[in-house]
């Protein structure tokens, strides 16, 4: 691997600032590696080499002229294909949006461009972000760089794989019920879901609007925080955007201290049915946190046991409404011939353009919202959602942050769960409660499971708009684990090293 692709965003940023390397060099080094290896990983749906290089040239020029630049200027990033980027294909992993070119930038992309972050291309994902393995992509599955026969998590599996494979130091995912945290967990990287409303949803193609939130992936906590800072902020174009100062996640990531901090591990998330290797690493992390001076206690979130059922009513209900706009009239695919009525065009377009999981969700959601069933399902789910949020609020009266394993298992084999949607949904057990409550949560790598030597993630959950708290815990734990591994966990990534000549 070239030295450049091994660097973190912070290291790249320092070298760029000192003019030791140029943004064009950095961009080319990453494209070289992608061109050598992405035929194996399949992280990208689209590479924008021309756009990225011209962006990089602009940064180099601005730097030469000694213009003041953001720290991340010239640092490359991979973007989940659910966020619009002007004139760059945005498919959401679906055939229904194949060849669609958005006429505008999402606010996230606008913020990235303003900071001078170089966008390499669009990453693969489960169709409309529905899934936990990226196998629901209408194009191809993405593979886990740790073991190419395993899933990279989902729905942001292209973005997690891109960072784990050193195709980019940074990437962006979106998280509705866990789609940043679970892929981060199973690929051994850091991923954060900010507080709901902290990052604008303008130009983020909607799955379940009350839950969707874009967030950063990186190989270190500080890198993740730096991207978080650039993405977040109030946006008048999104009516649910929070008009508050973004918590200072960057400073928090430099504060390596959890002394006296109260940390609660969630009683209901763990135990029977959870992979032993996951639980072992989790328990070790608890001991590490204690040795660092944190006060760790068990906390109960009683209604969290209903989170899965609640989420799988609310998310499909919102999806059934949001996806009504893909009808062959306005965007992308249109199945038409002279003799079809408008209704037939819509039916045929949707039948052909949507995959199996998307259709399943539309049907579940339509059912849960239909008159006669609305009160029994959708309204009931909303009530339970409020109870889960209340449980979490109560817990934060006792503790500063909550922790759990991010996912019940490590990465499973490609194909293993595709025909068993319920088994797939179970991957979200731990990530759903904070999603339903709209509070921030992140995943950091805490080691490898004994059984399969695959990465295990720890979830850290903080109160609303206190994202900095979780970063502080994450950075402190990361630093102590780094000593244990003598480097980053990601440096022990097996498969790609062998084949890499990039």
Which residues in this chain contact ligand GLN in the complex, by CB under 6 A?
A: 129-132, 155, 175-179, 207, 315, 428
Return all residues near 339 (Cβ < 8 A) that are at least 6 apart: none
- Active-site residue flag, 370: no
Nearest distance in Å: CB 109, ligand GLN: 19
Catalytic option among 179, 285, 317, 320: 179
CB 301 within 8 A of CB 433: yes
Return all residues near 348 (Cβ < 8 A) that are at least 6 apart: 328, 335, 336, 340
CB closer to ligand GLN out of 177 and 434: 177
Nearest distance in Å: CB 214, ligand GLN: 11
**Torsion angles phi and psi, residue 208, rounded to 5:** -130, 100
**What are the start-end ranges of the E strands in 337-431?**
401-405
CB closer to ligand GLN out of 129 and 489: 129
Closest residue by beta carbon to ligand GLN:
179
Q: Please provide the size of the chain in residues.
A: 502
- Active-site residue flag, 80: yes
CB 345 within 8 A of CB 150: no
Q: For residues 468-481, b (16+ Cβ closer than 10 Å) or e, as one string?
A: bbbbbbbbbbbebb
CB closer to ligand GLN out of 215 and 353: 215
Nearest distance in Å: CB 359, ligand GLN: 14
Nearest distance in Å: CB 309, ligand GLN: 13
Q: Is the link from the previous residue into 155 a cis peptide, with omega within 30 of 0?
A: yes
Catalytic option among 80, 110, 122, 193: 80
Whole-number Å distance between alpha carbons of 354 and 347: 11
**What are the start-end ranges of the E strands in 93-147?**
118-123
**Which residue in 94, 171, 179 sits closest to 139, CA to CA?**
94
Nearest distance in Å: CB 158, ligand GLN: 13
Burial grade of 166 (CB within 10 A; 0-12, 13-18, 19 or more): buried
CB closer to ligand GLN out of 200 and 213: 213
CB closer to ligand GLN out of 207 and 471: 207
Beta-strand relationship, 190-193 and 76-80: unpaired
Q: For residues 432-459, b (16+ Cβ closer than 10 Å) or e, as one string?
A: bbbbbbbbbbbbbbbbbbeebebbbbbb
CB closer to ligand GLN out of 131 and 365: 131
Whole-angstrom CA distances from 451 to 40, 277, 337, 454 are: 25, 6, 55, 8
Grouping H, G, I as helix, E, B as strand and the rest as coil, residue 57 is helix
Nearest distance in Å: CB 361, ligand GLN: 8
CA dihedral 158, 198, 407, 283 (to 10 degrees): 130
CB closer to ligand GLN out of 135 and 223: 135
**Torsion angles phi and psi, residue 289, rounded to 5:** -60, -40
Nearest distance in Å: CB 482, ligand GLN: 29
- Active-site residue flag, 179: yes
Nearest distance in Å: CB 315, ligand GLN: 5
Catalytic option among 13, 94, 137, 155: 155
CB closer to ligand GLN out of 116 and 157: 157
Point out the residues that are catalytic. 80, 155, 179
């Amino acid at each position: 691997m070239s030295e450049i692709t091994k660097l973190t965003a912070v290291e790249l940023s320092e070298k760029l600032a000192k003019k030791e390397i140029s943004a064009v060099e950095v961009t080319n080094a990453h494209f070289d590696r992608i061109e050598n290896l992405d035929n194996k990983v399949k992280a990208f749906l689209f590479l924008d080499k021309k756009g990225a290089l011209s962006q990089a040239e602009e940064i180099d020029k601005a730097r030469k002229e000694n213009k003041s630049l953001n720290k991340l200027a010239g640092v490359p990033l991979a973007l989940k294909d659910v966020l619009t980027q002007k004139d760059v294909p945005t498919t959401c992993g679906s055939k229904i949006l194949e060849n669609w070119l958005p006429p505008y930038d999402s606010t996230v992309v606008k913020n990235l461009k303003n900071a001078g972050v170089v966008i390499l291309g669009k990453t693969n994902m489960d169709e409309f972000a529905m899934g936990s393995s990226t196998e629901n992509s209408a194009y191809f599955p993405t593979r886990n760089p740790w073991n190419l026969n395993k899933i990279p998590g989902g729905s942001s599996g292209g973005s997690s794989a891109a960072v784990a494979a050193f195709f980019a130091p940074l990437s962006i995912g979106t998280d509705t019920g866990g789609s940043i945290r679970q892929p981060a967990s199973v690929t051994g990287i850091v991923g954060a879901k900010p507080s709901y409303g902290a990052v604008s949803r303008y130009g983020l193609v909607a799955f379940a609007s009350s839950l969707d939130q874009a967030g950063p992936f990186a190989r270190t906590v500080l890198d993740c925080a730096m991207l978080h800072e650039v993405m977040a902020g109030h946006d008048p174009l999104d009516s649910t955007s929070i008009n508050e100062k973004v918590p200072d996640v960057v400073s928090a990531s430099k504060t390596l201290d959890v002394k006296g901090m109260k940390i609660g591990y969630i009683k209901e998330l763990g135990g029977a049915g959870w992979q032993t290797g996951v639980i072992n690493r989790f328990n070790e992390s608890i001991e590490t946190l204690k040795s660092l001076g944190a006060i760790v206690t068990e906390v109960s979130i009683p209604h969290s046991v209903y989170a899965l059922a609640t989420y799988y009513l609310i998310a499909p209900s919102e999806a059934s409404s949001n996806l009504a706009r893909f009808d062959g009239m306005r965007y992308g695919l249109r199945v038409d011939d002279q003799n079809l009525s408008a209704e037939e065009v819509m039916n045929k377009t949707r039948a052909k353009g949507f995959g199996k999981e998307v259709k399943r969700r539309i049907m579940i959601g339509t059912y849960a919202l239909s008159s006669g069933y609305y009160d029994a399902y959708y309204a009931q789910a909303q009530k339970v959602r409020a109870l889960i949020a209340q449980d979490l609020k109560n817990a934060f009266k006792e503790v500063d942050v909550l922790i759990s394993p991010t996912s019940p298992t490590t990465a499973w084999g490609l194909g293993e769960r595709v025909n068993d949607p319920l088994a797939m949904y179970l991957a979200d057990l731990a990530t759903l409660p904070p999603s339903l409550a709209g509070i921030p949560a992140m995943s950091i790598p805490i080691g490898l499971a004994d059984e399969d030597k695959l990465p295990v993630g720890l979830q850290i959950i903080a109160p609303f708009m206190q994202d900095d708290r979780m970063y502080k815990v994450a950075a402190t734990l990361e630093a102590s684990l780094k000593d244990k591994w003598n480097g980053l966990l990601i440096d022990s990534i097996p498969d790609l090293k062998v084949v890499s000549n990039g």
